Amino acid sequence: MLSLQKFFLMKIRDIDFGEFPVFLAPMEDVTDLAFRLICKQFGADLVYTEFVSADALIRNVSRTEQKLTVLQEERPVSVQIYGKDVTTMVEAAQIVEQSKPDILDINFGCPVKKIASKGAGAGLLRDIPKMLEITREVVKAVKLPVTVKTRLGWDSNSLVITELALMLQDCGIEALAIHGRTRMQMYAGEADWTLTGEVRRNPLIKIPIIGNGDVTSAKIAKENFEKYGVDAIMVGRGAIGNAWIFAEIKNEIAGQALNDRENKNRFILPTNEQKKEILKTHILRSIEWLGGERKGIVHSRRHIAATPLFKGIPNFRPTRIAMLRAETKEEIFGLIDNIEF
């Protein structure tokens, strides 16, 4: 097992992420501006936008263009694009560059049927030559550092990641994120980080390797840094309704006692009452971001449903159902305010 004392600073080109950085994974309908800002507040070292469709972007679809909004206080931020056509991906990458993110990421990992079955996202794991062509041309087309996020392979009979990582590196990418599942696994079963560790230990790999999959606690994050030697860890579903997980991970890695309030390098974790206020702040920002009360509340329901904050409260099911049905901020805030721990 590797020691956390022997790591080096992780960089993507000239962006220095320090030791043991923790990133917010790109997630559709989750990592919008409102949520990214809250995760940044709790220590996320890099945040990613929602998936941006290259096809929709070049057609000037307004909702897609909105995803490119980047604020100074969330930097560094990466915009992630997906598509199946080389020319379209190049054009989309150039449009993204105009919005001035810090990094451009290419999605070769989304397993959703409507994307993968059309040859985009993880679908390109069945057409490696085309994946590499897209990567090479995008790298050539922009001045931004280009990174890739992908999976172990299409299925258990095509675990290509160890060879694919070298090929993607040769295309000029500056970091690679690996989700420890195949496309066919979707999100089922447990993520397997074994091959991610093999990629990281390959002396021919010179770019940072980012591990992703089932990071749902600070303990798991620390163990994965130690066991697999990755340069960074990416948190996906474990952050939904749980933005403070980044602070918990930072404290765990630093080995700091949570009651040591004199250590300026640690995060003061929010109390349960403060976490309720964080959820309310997120709802308000979503309402503002989406330009409508009901839209913002509906958009926030995934976080309300997934948050670990309310787990274990006796007889909580009726309250949870009521929160997920609420359509005004007064209604949902009243429910949240009346929750007792």
- Which pairing describes strands 209-212 and 176-179: parallel, antiparallel, or unpaired? parallel
Residue 187 corresponds to which tokens in the numbers above?
A: 């999100």
Distance CA 142, CA 129 (A): 21
232 strand-pairing partners: 210
Distance CA 167, CA 8 (A): 24
Is 39 annotated in the active site? Answer: no
Residue type, position 151, single letter: R
Task: Give the closest residue to 29 by CA, choosing from 263, 303, 227, 285.
Answer: 303
Q: State how far the Cα of 62 lies from the Cα of 222, in Å rounded to an integer.
A: 40
Supply φ then ψ for residue 46, to 5 degrees.
-145, 135
The two three-digit tokens of residue 20, written as one number: 């043991």
How far is Cα 54 from Cα 62, in angstroms, rounded to an integer? 13
CA-based R_g, the chain, Å: 20
Contacts of 309 (CB under 8 A, 6+ apart): 241, 242, 272, 275, 276, 279
Q: Quick check: 4 and 231 in contact, CB under 8 A?
A: no
- Which of 81, 110, 221, 240 is labelled catalytic? 110
- In the block, tokens 């997934």 appear at 306
Positions annotated as catalytic residues are: 110
